[in-house]
Structure 1
């Protein structure tokens, strides 16, 4: 492999350790990397793109580096920060500037032919709609929990009467930010007292699901054709409901992915146009139950706990085109 004329674009915060790891592996493979954060646009990273002969030509320029658009062979998008317009602009002007930057840069990069994405932002955005995700899981042969989306209290009670024990979880926003900091919105059980007093349920549409009394959970990280399945055993009652709520109690074991799960997950990944996704399952005596798939899910901690080579797999995806050239 030669790095000349084959550049990997890494779009991530400069303080993201997962992106740091991918960049280290790419450097070990002698890949040419241009890394920037969208928060650096338009003031510290400049876009120069001209439509010529029906093709966008130009470059991205930073203070100490630059890359030609035609040199980009792959793009790794890893939770970059929002665009940061000049601070002297009004709030509305800053919003307008950020939107212009988003659609201009995104449109140019999406137009480069033959680029491998991990992931294409539009695909990640589409996959974030969990109600559609659950329907797509079912179409791909994956089992899912019985689910109700509603802002109607009586509908919740009727659902509980048939589904049994319920949990409530966020549909989109997993972290609530207040003036006092950030708070994770963990999945929680719906108690009998909750069902008696559902005041506030009409403030928004809520997601209720039948509680899955799982033997254990599985975090399945998919990178291209690589499936990294890790069994997670919860050591506390709250971790049994949401293992994120009690990391110290967790135990991990690398396991195989059943063929039928590989088939269903692979079908969904293809349908959604995703290269990377972090899946959560509950495993019962009847089989694996798919909860959700996060196209921007974290993987650093599971790699550290188990040694599964997720970082290397991501780097392999990004330089695959170079290796074949």
Structure 2
């Protein structure tokens, strides 16, 4: 007898990675319900009852209905945020809060559901200080890092650990001329640090004298390692300059990756490492919702199939 339980895919309308995974699941005959929290409540409805036997009810989109007791897995990607533009400011703020804790709380509490990844665990893992501390405790090499709002501390760190780069602690949405822009990683000199540093928190990190980067994509028990050669400080700034090579992880890395994901209770992670001249891997960061699908046509790695396998399987008891 076939398993008719559905996979919920929670993401925005423009998500090519989700499109590929949904296509793979459809090809396997796995029911999929795709939804975006930004569609609530005008094109997304919820009716959930909570009792002694847990949560029952439905989530309804214009084309699908998901039985909340029949969700085998939830793939949480990059949904748009709740918005109530027709309401006054205070009413909209109230409505957004209710939606987040109502719809969001239900989707985060499904029984017998595999989360890839659980939205609460994603939130925990997105804090870079927590990620760096966990990486060090799991045995990864981590470059000396300073998080500060003190200009003098920043200057002293650059003097002691130069060359030093600056990274944003999170990735805010900046639009210039209506175009979304990424805050690039950049090297910083002592004379560039002024009293504006006192305005908020900043992350400074010793620059690894690297010869290449490695993107490691962990999907369940599968570990896919791709070396990226570019000659760039931040390879995300020009994908046209990148070349890709499938590589094996160094001894101990798979165990450390597993320990890291277990620490945050994640089933998926996209890790970035810098490789130095001695071939050593340095942990830079991990994204619990990172992109990965573009690597499959470049390398032939079966990433989409691995993600579909993970979502299709029953969650552990």
Question: Does TM, normalized by the shorter one, top 0.5?
Answer: yes
Give 4+ residue runs of structure 1 displaced > 6 Å after superposition. Answer: none
Matched, 1:265 2:263: no
Q: Give the C-alpha shift of residue 192 in structure 1.
A: 5.0
1:28 counterpart residue number: 27
Q: Which moved more, 1:207-216 or 1:278-287?
A: 278-287
Matched, 1:91 2:84: no
Q: Give the C-alpha shift of residue 174 in structure 1.
A: 5.0
Matched, 1:45 2:44: yes
Among 298, 302, 308, the alignment partner of 1:305 is: 298
1:157 counterpart residue number: 155
2:308 counterpart residue number: 315
After superposition, the Cα gap between the structure-2 partners of 1:108 and 1:298, relative to the gap in structure 1 and judged at 3 Å, is same
Equivalence map 1:33-182=2 (5 Å): 33-85=32-84, 87-173=85-171, 175-177=173-175, 180-182=178-180
Secondary structure (helix, strand or coil) at the match of 1:212 reads coil
On the 8 A contact 2:273/2:285 being kept in 1, the answer is yes
Q: Which moved more, 1:282-291 or 1:172-181?
A: 172-181
Q: Give the C-alpha shift of residue 178 in structure 1.
A: 5.2
On the 8 A contact 1:3/1:30 being kept in 2, the answer is no
Among 285, 290, 314, the alignment partner of 2:283 is: 290
Unaligned runs of 5+ in 2: none
CA distance in 2, matches of 1:160, 1:131: 19
Report the number of matched residues.
316
Superposed CA deviations along residues 28-85 of structure 1, whole A, max 9, x for unmatched, are 1100111111111111111001123342111111223212111111000110111233
Secondary structure (helix, strand or coil) at the match of 2:313 reads helix
On the 8 A contact 1:3/1:32 being kept in 2, the answer is no
On the 8 A contact 2:171/2:182 being kept in 1, the answer is no
Superposed CA deviations along residues 155-178 of structure 1, whole A, max 9, x for unmatched, are 122112221211001011254235
CA distance in 2, matches of 1:256, 1:136: 23
On the 8 A contact 1:174/1:186 being kept in 2, the answer is no
On the 8 A contact 2:37/2:80 being kept in 1, the answer is yes
1:244 counterpart residue number: 236
1:210 counterpart residue number: 206
Q: Give the C-alpha shift of residue 211 in structure 1.
A: 0.6
On the 8 A contact 2:174/2:182 being kept in 1, the answer is yes
TM, length-normalised to structure 2: 0.94
